[in-house]
Amino acid sequence: MDNTNYTQNQPQCETIKGDSCGVTHERRRTANYKPNIWSYDFIQSLTSNFTKATYKERAEKLKDEFVDVLSEVPELSKPHIVETIRKLGLSNVFHTEIMDALDSIVSNLNANNVDFEEDILDTSLSFRLLRQHGYHASEDMFINFIGEMDLRKGEAGSKSDFRGILELFEATRLALDGEEVMEKVKTFSYQYLTDNFLDMDINLAKQVAYASENPCHRKVLWFDVRHQIHTYELEDNKNLILLELAKLNFNIVQDMHLEDLKQMSRWWKNLGLIENMSFTRDRLVESFLWTVGVACEPQHALLRKCLTKVVTFVLVLDDAYDIYGSLEELECFTRTVDRWDYEEVDQLPECMKICFQALVTTTNEIAKDIQKDKCWNNNDVSPFLKTGWADFCKALLLEAWWDKKRCIPSLEDYLSSAWITSSGPLLSLVALLCTTDGKPEELYEKWEDNQDLIYYTSLVIRLLNDQGTSAAELERGDAHSSILCYMEEASVTEAIAREHMKDIIDSAWSKINMELLNAKTEQQTFVNLVINTARVCHFIYQKGDGFSVQDGDTKKKIKRLLIEPIKL
């Protein structure tokens, strides 16, 4: 028998004695998570009828009508119409038209047919849109503004100035490491907006405040689409065809998501796992919301299904390692997952046996569904998934060892494990398996090609998670976060540590931007899905722990995105 010690041969904790699952222990910890607020019966009772043929036919008719409108859009207006389409949640509907418009913008910039440099709003918007879609837009687009920026320092601005410079600030969030012009632009735009903040009208001031905390490049567009539709409806120059299509498309997609959610709710109930693991979070609906943020498009139903299953198990395993298991039990469980067999499973508490069985069953389901969709052999997917779960559990075990030994690692050591326990690699792996084209033997190469992207998005996920959950975790005695590690290492306050984590997040995003620009054309879909995993976290952990605490912004978002249609 392999006696590999996954805590690197560190001395063992004393065994916890007494256990409600059949093992003796002194006391099991609890996180006191609140019960699930979304009952099975409630989810199954929800209905909608926007997938009827009449609605889809109407949407197709509106699309055709607006395509004709797009053909008449002048070059200077193309960045603005593309941005409007995106904000209204219609990127998937007009994907070809958006890419054609961006190609046109690039051609005109290269040929100097249109002088975007005359307008800071147009230039900034064009730059941002091009980079968000993988085009190599140069920072030289802003060189002509540098002199004007120096002249404007300290001057009061107009409403049009504010809007242009706000878009300029948004554009800087697409900057890459080492771009000196972009660094100057960022410094100027931030300072200008800060100096003039009190002179702005309340709506613009809100936009500026929001952009500084949650820039559009880091937002999940679909999470904001209802608000954007409502805002567009109030505009004087709105296009009524586009407005009706946006409302109808939202309801049609919402209906598809609702059917997906009901299917996942039945799966979760039939699995019966939560009844045997009272210490963990029952967060099926929140897990599904996460997947909608990663892949809202109708063609990604399989990915949402697989990701929902993975996210629910990530929560269960995270709680098992953070809260429930003794070190001895967790080492045994980790070996069991690593070998993917039942050799030592009888040594585990009953609930952890059930957990492993459910993990095996669910992983086999995911593999089978992907293989059927791709027409691959039965053994093409499973090895990737098994390795992904093993790596995840090994990293969780190391963090559990630090916690139970009351050892606070350096920030570097912590992050070397925490980027894996963020679940980013697992989510990225499932995204690759579900969306890749080609032969299964190409999977490993594609996975290796995107390791930097996966690392930096996972780093963002972990640090955002820590920002949102560290206070509650410290209060109940959970494993250490990046914030505590840095506080101890650098002898600084919590506030300073939090700011340092924000700096690391910003730096990671500049690396992500580089990966977005360098992505091969055939991998653009996968790259965007991976980046979306980081974007979801900017929402989930923006005001605390959006998973553990159900009755805050997450509840409102679930109702508005998954349950309540827009009135037509």
**Within a domain: 38:** no
C-alpha Rg value of the chain to the nearest Å: 25
Same domain, 182 and 284: no
Are residue 229 and residue 253 in the same domain, yes or no? no
Looking at the domain assignment, is residue 40 inside a domain? Answer: no
Residue 119 is encoded by which pair of tokens? 């307008």
**Contact between residue 66 and residue 245 where contact means Cβ atoms under 8 Å apart:** yes
Question: Is residue 330 classed as helix, strand or coil in its secondary structure?
Answer: helix
Q: Specify if 482 maps to a domain.
A: yes
Neighbours of 467 (CB within 10 A): 20
Q: For 251-292, where are the E strands, in sequence order?
A: none
Alpha-carbon span 455 to 508, nearest angstrom: 9
Q: What is the pLDDT of residue 52?
A: 82
Task: Give me the pLDDT at residue 545, please.
Answer: 67
- Domain assignment present for residue 57? The answer is no
Which DSSP category does 89 fall into?
T
221 with 94, same domain: the answer is yes
342 shares a domain with 225? no
Residues 6 or more apart whose Cβ sits within 8 Å of residue 39: none
Which of 245, 273, 301 is a domain's end point?
245
Q: Give me the sign of the Cα torsion angle 155, 160, 166, 168.
A: negative
Number of domains in the chain: 2
Residues 6+ apart with CB under 8 A from 381: 366, 367, 370, 371, 433, 440
Residues of the chain whose pLDDT is less than 50?
Answer: 1-26, 116-117
pLDDT at position 277:
86
**Same domain assignment for residues 345 and 208:** no
State the residue range of the domain holding 278: 246-563
Calculate the CA dihedral of residues 63, 72, 102, 83 and round it to 10 degrees: -60
The reported pLDDT for the residue numbered 273 is 92
Q: What pLDDT was estimated at residue 109?
A: 80
| Summary count for the chain: helices (H), strands (E) | 24, 0
3-state secondary structure of 296: coil
Tokens of 451: 């390791």
Q: For position 14, what pLDDT does the model report? A: 31
Q: Which two tokens stand for residue 141?
A: 């687009």
Q: Report H helices in 33-133.
A: 40-45, 53-70, 78-87, 95-111, 120-132
Instruction: List the one residue out of 391, 393, 375 whose CA is nearest residue 383.
Output: 391
Whether residue 264 is found in the same domain as residue 191: no
477 CB-near residues (< 8 Å, 6+ apart): 29
Q: Report d(CA 530, CA 518) in Å as an integer.
A: 14
Q: Both 358 and 431 in a single domain?
A: yes
- HSE-CB at 52 with a 13 A cutoff on CA atoms is 7
HEC states along 285-352?
HHHHHHHHHHCCCHHHHHHHHHHHHHHHHHHHHHHHHHHHCCHHHHHHHHHHHHHCCCCCHHHCCHHH
Give the tens place of pLDDT for each residue, 316-363: 999 999 989 999 999 999 999 999 999 999 999 999 999 999 999 999
For residue 380, tell me if it sits in a domain.
yes
How far apart CA 289 and CA 254 sit, in angstroms, is 11
Question: How far is it, in rounded angstroms, from Cα 408 to Cα 425?
Answer: 24
Q: What is the CATH number of the domain that holds 126?
A: 1.50.10.130
Tell me what pLDDT residue 111 has: 64
Asked, for residue 543, whether it belongs to a domain, the answer is yes
Residue located via tokens 């009524």: 240
Indicate the residue among 245, 278, 313 that finishes a domain: 245
Using the 3D structure, point to which of 245, 260, 284 is the last residue of a domain: 245
Residue 275 shares a structural domain with residue 236: no
In terms of domains, do 240 and 251 share one?
Answer: no
CB 482 within 8 A of CB 411: yes
Q: pLDDT digits over 397-440, tens only? A: 999 999 989 899 999 999 999 999 999 999 999 999 999 887 88
Looking at the fold, whether 219 and 74 belong to one and the same domain comes out as: yes
Domain-located, residue 346: yes
> How far is it, in rounded angstroms, from Cα 410 to Cα 338?
27
